[in-house]
Amino acid sequence: MTRENGRWRISEIRRILIVLLCVAMVAAGCSGKPEAKSPIRIGVNVWPGYAYIFLAAEKGLFKKNGVDVTLNLIPEQNASLKVYEEGGADGVLSTMPDVLLLNSRGKPATVVLVTDFSVTGDVIIGRPEFKTLADLKGKKLSFEGVNTFSNIFVLKALEGAGVKEFDVIFENVPAHQVLSRLEDGGIAAGHTWEPTKSQALKKGYIVLAEAKDVPGVIVDVLAFDPEVIRQRPREIQAIVKALLEAREYNVVHREESLGIMAKALGMGPEEMQQGLLGIQQPDLNGNVEAMEKGDGVSSLHTSWQTALRFYFERGQLKGIPEFQSVVDPSFVNALAAAKTRERRP
């Protein structure tokens, strides 16, 4: 092609136009994407094991990792789940069984991180006259939310104590109302956790069962809408990383972290401390282990299996979903791989 000015100019213009058009079209074609730069919304309810997400936010760990996060604190678990179910949040901190249920209800959620295992955090607190769970036969027992993890926990705990579900009658009581229900005699015992746990214990109520009595049932996780994960994986990765960093920070700066986390959840530092004592937060390796499909108590899979059966019997599931479809270990695995690379010189 000879460089005659007139023709070259026409070609140039045409080329530029086409490039612009292509860019415009590509941009238009990617219209399915949600606003790339809007913050990721995460629903949080009041549970000590989730508090460190506020620590991460406060300490700018999210920003440092290049992600913008909005945290939505809703005291009750079910309410928080509902918000997520109705699309008000991109992700939610919840228990494993609830995630399973979400999936079965047509609002999928994929687990990317295990925040904690409840050890003594979840308790069945009862009136002192009932020494054991077996004493609750014919009595009223409470759990928070039908078909929730609480439901499972309570039934499992009873099962462990040799009590059949129809031996007991139940009431649906939110955890933070358990104390007042105990006080007014509405229930004989109920499932609760901090801060109510400490409050109740102070009032003389006793622990009839703990999470560690039925290990592997109550596992708390961070789950996201799989669509969000698909479209914004880097940000999800950043969130996971930030949370693990927050966990480390908490280990190193306990006092400070305690203050921040207690304030964030609206409870006193003592209660928070108590709550934290009742849980075990797995680090990166713990997470990697937990997300592997296995049968150990530290495996998500156990929780998964338990919940599965529970829901299945109660007509809550159409079929058995794949574990892999609900749990995405890629983010923790990526971080672990990065760490291994770091170690090798």
Q: Considering the rule CB under 8 A, would residue 184 count as an interface residue with other proteins?
A: no
Q: Of these, 63, 72, 170, 286, which contacts other proteins (CB under 8 A)?
A: 170
d(CA 185, CA 79): 25
Is position 139 an interface residue for other proteins (rule: CB under 8 A)? no
- Interaction of residue 25 with other proteins, rule CB under 8 A: yes
**Degrees to nearest 5, angle at CA 297 with 73 and 251:** 50
Q: If we measure between CA atoms, which residue out of 122, 161, 167, 112 comes closest to residue 143? A: 122
Q: Is 253 in the site for other proteins (CB under 8 A)?
A: no
**Of 37, 106, 255, 295, which one interacts with other proteins (CB under 8 A)?**
106
- Residue 341, judged by CB atoms within 10 A of its CB (0-12, 13-18, 19+), counts as exposed
| Region 67-96 residues binding other proteins, contact defined as CB under 8 A | 78, 85-86
Count residues binding other proteins (CB under 8 A): 36
In the set 70, 72, 172, 305, which binds other proteins (CB under 8 A)? 172
**Cα–Cα distance measured from residue 33 to residue 47, given in angstroms and rounded to the nearest whole number:** 33
First vs last C-alpha separation in the chain: 54
Which residue from 245, 277, 284 is spatially nearest to 258, judged by alpha carbons? 277
Q: Which residue in the set 164, 203, 254, 339 belongs to the binding site for other proteins (CB under 8 A)?
A: 164
Give the helix ranges, DSSP H, for 30-106.
Answer: 52-58, 61-64, 77-85, 96-104
Q: Which is nearer to other proteins, 234 or 309 (CB)?
A: 309
**Minimum distance, C-beta of residue 169 to other proteins, in the bound complex (Å):** 4
Q: State the binding string over 274-293 for other proteins (x if CB under 8 A, else -).
A: --------------------
Binding window for other proteins (CB under 8 A); candidates: 125-133, 140-148, 201-209, 243-251: 140-148
Residue 165 binding other proteins, by CB under 8 A: yes
Q: How far is the CB of 199 from other proteins (least distance, A)?
A: 25
Task: Name the E strands within 146-251.
Answer: 169-172, 189-192, 206-210, 219-224
Q: What is the greatest pairwise CA distance in the chain?
A: 101
Binding site for other proteins (CB under 8 A): 1, 7, 11, 14-15, 18, 21-22, 25, 28-29, 78, 85-86, 104-106, 145-147, 164-172, 312-316, 318-319
